[in-house]
Amino acid sequence: MNTQDIIRLSNITPLEHQMHDSGIVHVVSCSGGKDSTASILRSRELGIQARYVFADVGNEHQLTYEYLDYLEDRLCITIERIKPDFSEWMAKRRAWVREVGPRRGYTPAMVERIVSHLKPTGIPFLDLCLIKGFFPSTKRKFCTQFLKQVPINTLVTEPLLEADREVWSWQGVRREESAARATASHFEASRDGWEGFFIYRPIVEWTTDEVFAMHRRHAVKPNPLYSLGMTRVGCMPCVNTRKEELYQIQKQFPEVIDRIAKWERLVMLCSKKGVTTFFHARTIPNRGGGDTRSHIRNAAKWSKTDRYGQYDMLKAMEAPAECASQYGLCE
Ligand code: SF4
């Protein structure tokens, strides 16, 4: 039997055959979501010795942290938690506000307000927003870059490349997820021009059903957040959270709304204008209220309305569902 026969009979692609080269280090990104879990399981099926990394932004739900512990126990793996520390950057920002701020239109009161509140909290997502003075949005999506890409590159990828290792970064991206991902390739060289760095998307052609089938095949439970109505796992909430998902969050996890309201107050104190909201200012259709109309508490109330903005009594009275999952996980 030749190599091609072995590959065909063992249901692995030529690319998956090549990945066993001992010079390659496989780095699998784990978010605690279904797609990255399927990627972990695929690496296990292929017998790959990988490094599993999780970028801890400090805005994930507690159930996700517990789920990562569960995966470690269930699969006998270690998931490295990468947590960026922005205290140095924050100190530079304080110095900038003091020294350069007055020349850029910051009044003495603004300087005093910002400098006295710009203190590290140890929560990466919040600290980054305090430094910026606003929250990320679709247009200003700095969160993924500074909270995930840069820390993983700095602490994992770059040291490996400097040690002359070839790195395959596994990403649980699927084409059916969105138009932006519809053309994602299975395997490609780094777009940053890094020699020896490749992006590998093991489940790029998979459907949602195949992803959950992978969980069942390995007797691994999906993150329980799916059964509670969440369609994606990552930040809770993500700045791109849709209205229906926000409705589920405010209903099932009101403490998340309280936490974000607190974060909004802190970030406002560190912003030049003294105004900012977690969701984009125009998240709620314009019915007055200025820059703060999309404040998290207003957004949570808006999530209970119908598309004409009317309070949806039936929706608000719904009993918490046993399984609100849009994936029918309890079928
Ligand atoms: S999940 Fe959303 S808010 Fe969190 S880092 Fe990613 S894009 Fe930003």
How high is the pLDDT of residue 1?
45
Residue 14 falls inside a structural domain:
no
How high is the pLDDT of residue 127?
98
Q: Which residues of 88-116 are buried (b: 16+ CB within 10 A; e: fewer)?
A: eebeebbeebeeebeeeebeeebbebbbe
Question: How far is the CA of 74 from the CAs of 55, 64, 203, 209, in angstroms?
Answer: 20, 15, 21, 22
| Total residues found in the chain within this entry | 331
Residue 189 falls inside a structural domain:
yes
CA of 92 to the centre of ligand 1 (A): 24
DSSP states of 255-304 as a string? HHHHHHHHHHHHHHHTSSSS---SS-TTSS--SS-GGGTT-HHHHHHHTT
Q: Give, using CA atoms, the residue closest to atom 4 of ligand 1.
A: 235
How high is the pLDDT of residue 8?
46
49 shares its domain with 113: no
187 shares its domain with 287: yes
> Which residue range is the domain that position 108 belongs to?
87-119
How high is the pLDDT of residue 322?
47
Residue 329 falls inside a structural domain:
no
End-to-end CA distance of the chain: 43
Structure tokens at 88: 């140095």
If you count DSSP H runs as helices and E runs as strands, how many of each does the chain have, helices first? 15, 6
Q: What would the pLDDT profile of 258-313 be if each residue is shown by its tens digit?
A: 999 999 999 999 999 888 999 988 777 765 556 667 899 999 999 998 766 665 65
Choose one of 144, 171, 177, 283 to mutate for the ligand 1 pocket test, by most ligand atoms within 8 angstroms of C-beta: 144
91 shares its domain with 159: no
Structure tokens at 3: 């190599």
Domain count, the chain: 2
Residue 187 falls inside a structural domain:
yes
Instruction: Report the atom number in ligand 1 closest to the C-alpha of 147.
Output: 5
CA of 239 to the centre of ligand 1 (A): 6
61 shares its domain with 170: yes
User: Lowest-pLDDT range, 3-17, 18-32, 147-161, 208-222?
Assistant: 3-17
Mean predicted lDDT score pLDDT of the chain: 88
CA of 38 to the centre of ligand 1 (A): 20
pLDDT tier at 9, thresholds 50, 70, 90: very low
Q: What would the pLDDT profile of 160-197 be if each residue is shown by its tens digit?
A: 999 999 999 999 999 998 888 899 999 999 877 789 99
User: Lowest-pLDDT range, 7-11, 212-216, 313-317?
Assistant: 7-11
> Using omega within 30 degrees of 0 as the cis cutoff, is the peptide bond preceding 237 cis?
yes
CA of 328 to the centre of ligand 1 (A): 25
CATH of the domain at 183: 3.40.50.620
Instruction: Report the atom number in ligand 1 closest to the C-alpha of 232.
Output: 1
243 shares its domain with 104: no
Question: How far is the CA of 255 from the CAs of 29, 224, 300, in angstroms?
Answer: 28, 18, 12
101 shares its domain with 187: no
65 shares its domain with 102: no
Residue 331 falls inside a structural domain:
no
Taking residues 206-223, report their average pLDDT: 97
Taking residues 129-158, report their average pLDDT: 93
Phi, psi torsion values for 178, nearest 5 degrees: -165, 165
How high is the pLDDT of residue 321?
47
User: Cβ of 165: how many Cβ atoms within 10 Å?
Assistant: 14
Q: Which residue is listed with tokens 């065909």?
A: 8
**Is the pLDDT score of 229 beyond 60?**
yes
Residue 114 falls inside a structural domain:
yes
How high is the pLDDT of residue 40?
98
CA of 6 to the centre of ligand 1 (A): 41
Q: Which residue is listed with tokens 């760095």?
A: 197
196 shares its domain with 214: yes
Q: What would the pLDDT profile of 48-88 be if each residue is shown by its tens digit?
A: 999 999 999 999 999 999 999 999 999 999 999 999 999 99
CB 27 within 8 A of CB 49: no
Residue 330 falls inside a structural domain:
no
28 shares its domain with 114: no
182 shares its domain with 272: yes
Q: What would the pLDDT profile of 86-124 be if each residue is shown by its tens digit?
A: 999 999 999 999 999 999 999 999 999 999 999 999 999
Contacts of 43 (CB under 8 A, 6+ apart): 26, 28, 50, 170, 202
Ranges of beta strands (E only) in 111-186 are: 166-170
**Cα dihedral sign for 304, 308, 310, 314?**
negative
102 shares its domain with 216: no
113 shares its domain with 199: no
Percent of all residues in the chain with a pLDDT value above 70, rounded to a whole number: 87
CA of 84 to the centre of ligand 1 (A): 15
Residues in contact with ligand 1 (CB, 6 Å cut-off) = 57, 136, 141, 143-144, 147, 234-235, 238-240
User: Cβ of 198: how many Cβ atoms within 10 Å?
Assistant: 16
Residue 45 falls inside a structural domain:
yes
How high is the pLDDT of residue 22?
78
Phi, psi torsion values for 253, nearest 5 degrees: -130, 65
**Is the pLDDT score of 7 beyond 50?**
no
